[in-house]
Each structure stands twice: as structure tokens, then as C-alpha cells.
Amino acid sequence: MSAPTALKMGPLTNCVIPSKKYVLVMALGMWFSLIPAMAMEYFYFGAAFNWNPLHVVFFQKVLDFLAVFGSWGQFGVWLIFPFNLLAVHFMNGFFAIWVARLFLAIETRVHKPREGIFPRDMKNPDYFHWNARRAIKKFPCWLLGLTPFTRMKRRYVFNKLGHGTIHIGKNVGLLDAWIDTEFIDIGDDVAIGRAAVVTSHYFTPSHLVLKKVSIGAGCLVGERARISPGANLGDHATALAKSVIRIEEQVPAGAIFGGNPAQRVPWDT
């Protein structure tokens, strides 16, 4: 949110090949993840508006109980309406993640994600499946980026969507940063600033490069900093605001790096 209304921060899930197949994948994800929430809504509004079309035994008992209050019976159902909204949102998000995980399980069975340098060509399986994985992750990431409650579930989302290639530690603040959903290793107690970009992929005109980024425990990554692929921040290292950590830079533990390109600041002993 702190982002402009035009930009939504969150897990970084751009895919490069625009294709109708990806729309199909996203639509399938939405379809399956909306079913449980929709089913719940059906019963809830059944009780709220006294339809009860399925004559479900449980809801009939609820309605019988509420009928004691006469026409105020509906009032009782509406008292839990906010929780109904929250439940819909959380159920939708939860099932979106797990549907994406199901798709990813099939996807990774077809082709296992790996680091390396791959030609930018649809015929290359690594490049193609990298795009496919991102298309699968897009819907849950978008959905969970929509609420102000994102910081409650960010770590969960990353760890679940990474499918074994990602690790996010405890007590990590990565609200409002753009972080890749693959080949990331972030330790405990890390603070990542607003609009920082941490990616494990980069493009050359002819190639896609995937390299693991690791950020050690207790690191501080500044406002709008850029951690490039292959970079390795030691424990309790600091990347200052607006610094650009280069590709495959090895930042020693406890060091303070700043500038563009980032170097050890002169006063850091």
C-alpha cells in the first residue's frame, strides 16, 4: 500500500512469455480456489436470508433456534457477517496457495527447477518451465497482496510457494519489498526495506540466469536497495538505502555496504 495505488508490491511473479495458456492456468487456479469459499457463502446466505434450499440439518437447527427471536432471527446471522467476510478472504487465499502448490507439484515433476544459465528460447525446458511456474504463482500472490493484513501471512506464502527452493526465517520484515519466489534463502530477524528488490533471476539479451541469493540472519537491507542474483550477505551485514549489491557479490558477515555499485563503506572497520 505504501506503494502508489498503481503499483502493488509483493512477491515478484512476472513471467516473460505472454501466452493464452497462462491465462488458462490462472483461471483454473481461481476456479478451484474459489469453490470452498463459494460453498461457505451459499450456506451462510442461506441462513441469513432464510432460503435454506438444501435443507441442511445443521442450518435448519440454527434457523429453528433463531426463530425464537421472531423476525430478529436474521439479526443473529448478520452479527457474524464481518467474520464471514474475513473467512471468505482467508479461505480463498489459503486454497489459492494450495491449488498453486498442487499445480507446482505436477510442474516440478515434469521439470525440476534448477539454477544455471539457460538460453532465452521457448524450446529450452528450463526457460519454459520457469515462466510456467511464475504463471502458476501469480494468482495467490496477487490475491494476498490485496489486503492490509499481508504481513501476517507473507512468510507462509513464500515458504509454501517456493516449493523447496526457498527458505524464509522467523521474524522477518519483508513487507513492501519485491522478492522472488524461488532460490531465496533469508535468515531469521532480517529487515528488508520498502521497495527493495531481491531477485534470483536476471536476463541478458540471449540468456536467462538463475542464481541463488542468500541473506544471513540479522541482516538489514535498506530502502530501495537491490540485491542481485547470486549475492551472498553474511550474518548481520547491512546494505544501505539505495545501494546496489552486484551479481555474485560476497558480503562478509557484519560488513556495511553502500553505493552503486555497492562497496564496503570507508568508515566500516
What does the binding site for other proteins look like in residue numbers (CB under 8 A)? 1-7, 78-79, 81-83, 85-86, 148-149, 151-152, 171-173, 175-176, 191-195, 220-224, 238-242, 256, 258, 260, 265, 267-269
Residues contacting 255, CB < 8 A, separation 6+: 234, 237, 238, 264, 268
Contact in structure between 85 and 30 (CB atoms under 8 Å)? no
Closer to other proteins at the Cβ: 100 or 190?
190
Nearer to other proteins, 130 or 178 (CB): 178
Q: Helical H runs in 51-169?
A: 57-67, 73-79, 81-110, 125-144, 150-161
Output 31 or 83, the one with its CB closest to other proteins.
83
Minimum distance, C-beta of residue 7 to other proteins, in the bound complex (Å): 6
Nearer to other proteins, 165 or 228 (CB): 228
Instruction: Report cis status (omega within 30 of 0) of the bond before 261.
Output: yes
The least distance separating other proteins from the CB of residue 112, rounded to whole angstroms, comes to: 34
Of 86 and 105, CB closest to other proteins: 86
In terms of CB distance, is 118 or 257 closer to other proteins?
257
* Neighbour-count burial for 42-72, b at 16+ CB within 10 Å, e otherwise: ebbebbbeeeeeeeeeebeebbeebeeeeee
In the DSSP assignment, the letter for residue 173 is B
Q: How far is the CB of 26 from other proteins (least distance, A)?
A: 22
Q: How far is the CB of 260 from other proteins (least distance, A)?
A: 7
Rounded least distance, CB 223 to other proteins, Å: 4
The C-alpha atoms of residue 101 and residue 19 are separated, in whole angstroms, by: 21
Pairing between strand 256-258 and 263-264? antiparallel
Q: CB of 209: closest distance to other proteins in angstroms?
A: 26
As measured in angstroms, the least distance from the Cβ of 151 to other proteins is 5
Query: How far does Cα 175 stand from its chain's mean position?
Result: 11
Which of 30/241 has CB closer to other proteins?
241
Other beta carbons less than 10 A from residue 221's beta carbon: 28
